[in-house]
Amino acid sequence: MGSRCSIRSLRPWHGVSCGAIAAAFWKNAALEQGIPLAQMRAFLEARCAEPGIPQTVAALFAEAESRTGRIVDQGPARVYACSDPELARLVVSDSKLRRLCRLAEDRLLVVPTGDDKSFREALRQLGYAAPPASTE
């Protein structure tokens, strides 16, 4: 048997083909669960009967490696809805506010949670105010 894997979720896969394991990992979004590609590949290589992993599985990993990390979660943010697109464009074009928010769609502003206080202050300086979020 290959080296022991520290990931408990992998234990049920003992005796299952490498191709089936790789497909299941992909379908179950192992990457989104934080399991690194290198660890998944090592796990499969240790359990394959033939040396190395099958070409189809290697191709799956190559594709995953080319796509991994191209979209990165930047953390929580607040979304503000402007009454109209013109106001949203005014806010994102302001010299202070454009560093603190991004336009999403035509009238939505996205503000990283850590910049919310500065955003609200700069918004007041522009002559606008946003009431607190509804808790309903």
**Domain limits for position 102:** 77-125
Considering the domain boundaries, does residue 39 fall inside one? Answer: yes
Q: Given this model, what pLDDT does residue 1 score?
A: 41
Q: What is the pLDDT of residues 64-78, one digit of tens each?
A: 888 777 888 889 999
Q: Given this model, what pLDDT does residue 13 score?
A: 55
Judge if 107 and 61 occupy the same domain: no
Q: For every one of its 136 residues, what pLDDT tens digit does the chain have, with 9 covering 90 and above?
A: 443 344 455 555 566 666 666 666 655 567 777 778 888 888 888 887 778 888 888 888 888 888 777 888 889 999 999 999 999 999 999 999 999 999 999 999 999 999 999 999 999 999 999 988 776 5
Q: pTM of the prediction? A: 0.60
Q: Residue 126: what are its φ and ψ, rounded to 5°?
A: -80, -10
Judge if 26 and 56 occupy the same domain: yes
Considering the domain boundaries, does residue 131 fall inside one? Answer: no
Given 67, 92, 115, which residue is the final one in a domain?
67
Q: Given this model, what pLDDT does residue 22 score?
A: 64
Considering the domain boundaries, does residue 87 fall inside one? Answer: yes
Number of domains in the chain: 2
Q: Given this model, what pLDDT does residue 120 score?
A: 96
Judge if 63 and 93 occupy the same domain: no
Locate 102 and state its tokens.
């991004």
Query: Is the distance from CB of 88 to CB of 128 less than 8 angstroms?
Result: no
Provide DSSP, 102-119: EEETTTEEEEEGGGHHHH
Judge if 60 and 12 occupy the same domain: yes
C-alpha closest to that of 94 among 113, 74, 121, 117: 121
C-alpha to C-alpha distances, 38 to 27, 42, 65, 68, nearest whole angstrom = 17, 6, 9, 12
Locate 82 and state its tokens.
């402007």
The rounded mean pLDDT for the chain is 82
Given 17, 39, 67, which residue is the final one in a domain?
67
